[in-house]
């Protein structure tokens, strides 16, 4: 009788233990929605070696990154989802790309790198849950040194003003490879500094609008990065606007989207 009693207790404990272990587990499903999309981004790196007596070296490196969004709606820890995504794309785990940068003594160098990455996008669902989470995997394919120049050790270089392009401007966009046209309105503040938001753009007919961040200055061309604030879902951030002052108080304006290979141009006039 005692043996039978203890055997029953043992089986009950074993069963309850197994149930508690499975209660915390979630059956996740990963469904890829977009595969191997090429994305191109530019990165500006500055190295200050003004007081150096020898070369200064830096290595820019990128490896695989995993982004997740909405894990809380599934009641699952984000690290658990990242683990599942990592396992699905395990062959890309050790891929990385690097670029060696060197700043000679007595210089303050600016390097512009262009990264090309392959991305995979998908959704994550859990058994018994109506909500879903999203994931994105990015793997570097190549890195290219676009330009390098010595900004000089004069600290006023980064404070170069935008007096020639400051003000309110308007023009008509013309697509380079199609018949797309649209009116655009640009506002640039005076004394615009690198890495500062100092302008806005608006294309009402799309509609798309946002802020302009000054990324760098190449000779007399001001290169801004778009940061969307309003508009349709397909209005993105991170595209580039190249603005160059012309001799007749007009501006040469050019738009580039490296990912989708979209380019547009315009001549901007002051919007009095």
Residue 9 has pLDDT above 50, yes or no: no
For 93-102, 143-152, 227-236, which range has the lowest pLDDT when averaged over its residues?
A: 227-236
Does residue 94 have a pLDDT over 70?
Answer: yes
Same domain? 266 vs 196: yes
| Average confidence score pLDDT of the chain | 81
**According to the model, what pLDDT value does residue 84 have?**
87
Query: Same structural domain for residues 180 and 260?
Result: yes
Task: Name the pTM for this structure.
Answer: 0.52
| pLDDT at res. 158 | 46
Please say whether the beta carbons of 55 and 105 come within 8 A. yes
Q: Which domain-ending residue is among 107, 130, 150?
A: 150
Residue 70 lies in a domain: yes
Q: Which pLDDT tens digit goes with each residue over 191-202?
A: 887 888 999 999
Are 234 and 136 contained in the same domain?
A: no
* Most confident option among 36-45, 54-63, 149-158, 249-258: 54-63
pLDDT of residue 212: 95
> Does residue 221 sit in the same domain as residue 191?
yes
Mean pLDDT to the nearest integer, 91-117: 90
Q: What is the CATH number of the domain that holds 258?
A: 2.40.128
pLDDT at 22: 30
Residue 50 and residue 143 in one domain: yes
> How confident is the model over 11-34, as pLDDT tens digits?
444 444 333 333 346 688 888 888
> Is residue 251 located within the same domain as residue 234?
yes
Which of 103, 133, 150 is a domain's end point? 150
Cα atoms found within 13 Å of the Cα of residue 72, Cβ hemisphere only? 0
137 vs 118: CA distance, rounded Å: 8
Would 49 be classed as within a structural domain? Answer: yes
Judge whether residue 242 has pLDDT over 50: yes
In terms of average pLDDT, the best of 68-72, 128-132, 191-195, 249-253 is 249-253
pLDDT of residue 261: 65
pLDDT at 12: 46
Share of residues in the chain with pLDDT > 90 (%): 30
246 contacts 164 by C-beta, under 8 angstroms: no
Residues spanned by the domain of 257: 159-270
146 lies in the same domain as 233: no
pLDDT tens readout for residues 125-181: 888 778 888 888 889 999 999 999 888 886 444 445 567 899 999 999 988 766 788
Give the rounded percent of residues in the chain with a pLDDT score beyond 70: 85
Into how many domains does the chain fold?
2
pLDDT value at residue 257: 79
Whether residue 209 contacts residue 230, with contact meaning beta carbons closer than 8 Å, is answered with yes
């Amino acid at each position: 009788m005692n043996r039978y009693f203890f055997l029953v207790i043992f089986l009950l404990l074993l069963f309850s233990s197994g149930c508690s272990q499975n209660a915390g587990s979630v059956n996740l499903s990963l469904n890829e929605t977009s595969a191997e999309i090429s994305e191109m981004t530019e990165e500006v790196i500055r190295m200050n070696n003004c007081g150096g007596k020898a070369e200064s070296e830096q290595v820019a490196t990128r490896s695989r990154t995993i982004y997740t969004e909405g894990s809380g709606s599934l009641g699952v820890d984000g690290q658990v989802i990242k683990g599942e995504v990592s396992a699905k794309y395990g062959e890309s785990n050790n891929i990385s790309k690097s670029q060696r940068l060197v700043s000679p003594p007595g210089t303050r160098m600016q390097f512009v790198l262009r990264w090309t990455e392959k991305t995979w996008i998908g959704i994550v669902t859990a058994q018994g849950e109506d909500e879903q989470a999203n994931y994105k995997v990015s793997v570097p394919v190549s890195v290219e040194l676009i330009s390098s120049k010595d900004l000089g050790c004069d600290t006023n270089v980064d404070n170069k003003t935008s007096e020639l392009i400051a003000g309110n401007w308007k023009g008509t966009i013309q697509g380079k490879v199609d018949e797309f046209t649209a009116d655009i309105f640009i506002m640039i503040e005076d004394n615009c500094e690198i890495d500062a938001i100092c302008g806005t753009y608006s294309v009402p007919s799309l509609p798309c609008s946002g802020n302009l961040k000054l990324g760098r200055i190449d000779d007399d061309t001001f290169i801004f990065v778009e940061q969307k604030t309003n508009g349709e879902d397909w209005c993105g951030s991170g595209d580039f606007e190249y603005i160059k002052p012309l001799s007749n108080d007009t501006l040469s304006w050019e738009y580039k989207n490296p990912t989708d290979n979209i380019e547009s141009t315009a001549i901007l006039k002051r919007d009095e």
